[in-house]
Structures are given as structure tokens and as C-alpha cells.
Structure 1
Amino acid sequence: MSQRIVIVAGGCWSEEEAALLRSDDMLVGVDAGAVHLLEAGRVPDLVVGDFDTVSVETYRQLQAKGVPIHSLPTAKDVTDTHHAVDWALARRPQQILLLGALGGSRFDHALANLFLLERMADAGISGLIQDAHNRIQLHPGNNTVITVEASPFRYLSLLALTTRVEGVTLRGFRYPLQEAVLIRDFPLGISNELEVEKGHIQVRTGKLLLIESRDHP
């Protein structure tokens, strides 16, 4: 089993996302995400979805390549991406990376994908969502420390996912915090910046979204 499973959904996609794919990744295409993978010259290890955004020609191409296909009904309780995440969690990788999970015309799907980070964290699996301008992970609390390294993503924003996040301590950032409380309906943690090569984020209780981002070039 690969240490990382990459799930590619049908949202915004560019060469920058394609460049994140590694040779040893297990690749799951979600509906039109399978098209993204094929265009990047990669054959998915699995495709899932109701295939409402995949042409008949592409579907037959996947079949011809022997790609396993999980065909899902249009009417179902969970999204195609949710189904793919549950499939990946059952295989216990070290990390799940979601690409093509932001942008596009469906904000509801993008928000639902963010909530899937909590599902991954609760299962003890590192989860990450990334596109050309954002990299998002969830801090699960429990006094754990997450290290953020200097990268092309200039800004770091901290947003409470639970109602309250307590004991937030930041080291190495322009705006440090010591045992702070962040509240979901009063977002104070927007656009912090690293001042050293590595910053450290510790949270005692609550779940915190860490959003690294950069402006359009």
C-alpha cells in the first residue's frame, strides 16, 4: 500500500497540481478528476463517481486501461469525493491528499471537502487539501504541535472549526500567540506570516483549520 493516497476531484486543476503527483502515489480519480489524471499522463488506480461529468469516450478509455471503477448512483447519501475518502481511510495510508477539491462552480462541494479533513483527523490520518493558491490542513488539538515551513504560500490563516479553540500558541510568526482562544464566529487569525524558516502551532483543545495561501501572481 502506498504511504500516500491522492484523490483528484473535478474542481480547478492546473500544471501546479499535476506537479504534486509522485510516482509512488496511489491515485483515485473522482468523476471528472479522472480526466485531470489522464491529461497529466497518469492512469488512476481507481475511479469513483456517478460519471455525470465524464464523457462516454473517457469512460471507455478507462475501461480499456483496466482501471477499477466504482460506479455510484446519482441519488446517494454522500458525495463522490466523500466515498473516495472513506475508501482511502479503509486502507490506512499515512496521508490523504485532495486535489481538484476547491474552486469550480460548487461552493457547497468545496466546503464539504473541507469538512472531510475532520473525518480524516478523527481516523488518525493526515489530511491535506491543496491547489495552486491554497494548502489546507486541520489541527486536531490535543496539545499536538504542527510545524509549518517557509514556502511559496506567503500567508497563514487560522480559523476555528469547532466553536472554540483554546490554548493556541504560535512561535516563529509575525503575530505570535500564547495560550490564545479563537472563536469560530469572530475570526481573528487571518493573514499571519512566518518570520523564520519553520513556525510551530500548538493547540490544547478544539479543531483549527490551517490555511496557507498566496495571492494571484
Structure 2
Amino acid sequence: MVNLGKNGEIVHSDWPIGLFGGGEIGPGDLDLALSRVRLAVAADGGAAGLIDSGRVPDAVIGDFDSLSSRHRAQVPAERLFPIREQDSTDFDKALRNIRAPLVLGVGFLGGRLDHQLAVFNAMVRWPDRPCILLGSQEVVFHAPPHVTLQIPPGDTVSLFPFRRVTGHSRGLEWPIDGLVLEPDGRVGTSNRALSDVTLAVDGPGLIVMVPRGALDQVMQAFASGQTGRWPARAE
């Protein structure tokens, strides 16, 4: 449902929500995402792709500086939620105003690197808002306290810390046990799966990249409730 949630969120749902941006969206990605969620929320100009595909978003959140008047006119006024401040991105504005078990983001990877970095920053800044991003080659998510995925042997599993984290792993060619990962130190990109991969980390801040084919597995892992969840970051 689209309303003010108990903590003031704009969108509240007991089911996964699709969040759509104005970046690169591959052929079939809209249908793939929409078949896995019940509500479609657009981050500002991300509404255009939804509308052009025939789906009017259930909510549009952002500063509306990239939403054309033509597309805006096709969205009922009660589904428009402008947030005018310029201190955060439209992805940030949307993510922090969605309360759901999981957000599936499309249209946020590829294109400009600065936009992608800002998206990863927001995912880490809002650790209590689980979010998976769908890209052309990979699925990206903020590591929960623990997760197990069936990744085919030899497939790439990349880890990039946005904060200092430590943890344990099973099923990786180069385990992270005993290592300190940090943005200006050791990172864990281009690791490889040997078998089922299990990750457990001591705190939020680790971005995980796995092959695109693992999307449903990652979604199921979050939906199971067995990953644990990070608490909201103290302001």
C-alpha cells in the first residue's frame, strides 16, 4: 500500500517492492522485475520507463528535476511524492521512504560511475532497508549479517567494503576469515566460488556482487528471514 508508514515512510508493503531508476535498463528487465514484485515505485525520472512500458508507477519519489511534464501528467497526483531537498539522490530519497522486506532496484547500474557510487553509498547508509540491484552482468546487494547462496563453481563473487568489516566465508577460493576489509585497504573483488558460498560479516558496509543468474536465490535468501537484518543507522 502507498501511505505513510508507522515511521513516516511513503510506501509500506509486506511484499518485495520494485524500485525503478532512470539509468540503463536491459531488454526484458522491466518485465523480469515486475513479475517478482507487487508494487512499482519510481525514483523521479525512472517513471518514464515504466509508463512507456504500459505500467503506471504506484508511487514516484524524488525532486522531480528529471521527470518530464508529459510523463508526470500520466501519473495520478496522489501518487506523486516530491522531496525538494538537494542533499541526497533520488535513489536515496526513495529507499529511505520505502518500508518492505526487500527492494529490487532496476535502472541504477551501468551508465555514469558517479551515479552508481552514490547508489552504493545510500545502500550502506540505510542498512535496515534491504535492497538488491539488477545489472546487465551481476546482482549487487548490501551484505546482511549472514547469507548462503548456491553459486556455480568458478563464478565470480566480488566483495567491496564501504566501511571497515571483518567476517567469515565458506565456499570461496580465497576465504575472508581473519582479514580486515576496508575502502582504503584490502578489498575482495574477483574472488571465485568453489561450491555453495556462505558469508557472515560483523557489521554493515560490505557490497556483494554475484552473477545475474543468482537473482532469485538472493531474493529468496532475504525473503526467508534467515539472513538477519541490520538495525537502522543511528542519526
For residues 206 and 134 of structure 1, what CA distance do their matches in structure 2 show?
A: 21
Do the aligned partners of residues 12 and 186 (structure 1) sit closer, same or farther apart at CA in structure 2, a change above 3 Å counting? same
User: 2:74 corresponds to which residue?
Assistant: 61
Q: Per-residue deviation at 1:83?
A: 1.5
Equivalent residue for 1:99, pick from 77, 82, 106: 106
8 Å contact 1:11–1:100 — kept in the other structure? Answer: yes
Which ranges in structure 1 are unaligned for 5 or more consecutive residues?
A: none
CA contact (8 A) 2:44 2:62 kept: yes
The Cα shift of 1:2 comes to 4.1
Q: Residue 84 of structure 1 corresponds to which residue in structure 2?
A: 94
Q: 2:141 aligns with which of 137, 142, 146?
A: 137
Q: Is the contact between residue 37 and residue 44 of structure 1 (CA under 8 Å) also seen in structure 2? A: yes
Alignment gaps of 5+ in structure 2:
1-12, 213-235
Distance in 1 between residues matched to 2:60 and 2:146, nearest whole Å: 35
- After TM superposition, give the deviation of residue 49 of structure 1 in Å: 2.8
* Residue 112 of structure 1: aligned partner: 118
**Count, aligned residues:** 198
Query: CA separation of 1:171/1:131 partners in 2, compared to 1, >3 Å: closer, same or farther?
Result: same
Separation of aligned partners in 1, 2:182 and 2:44: 36
Give the aligned partner of residue 173 of structure 1. 172
The 8 Å contact of residues 16 and 131 in structure 1, kept in 2 or not, is answered as: no
Equivalent-residue separation in structure 2 for 1:98 and 1:24 (angstroms): 11
Which consecutive aligned stretches of 4+ in structure 1 deviate over 3 angstroms post-superposition?
A: none
Task: Report the CA distance shift for 1:194/1:98 in structure 2 as closer, same or farther (over 3 A).
Answer: same
Q: Displacement of 1:68 after TM fit?
A: 0.9
Identical-pair percentage? 27
Partner Cα separation in structure 1 for residue 58 and residue 114 of structure 2:
27
TM-score (norm 2): 0.73
In the superposition, the TM-score normalised over structure 1's length comes to 0.78
Shift of 1:24: 4.2
Going from structure 1 to structure 2, the CA distance change for 1:119 and 1:205 (only over 3 Å counts) comes to: closer
Asked if the contact 2:51/2:71 (under 8 Å) is kept, the reply is no
Contact 1:49 1:70 in 2 (8 A): yes
**In 2: Cα distance, 1:108 partner to 1:40 partner:** 27
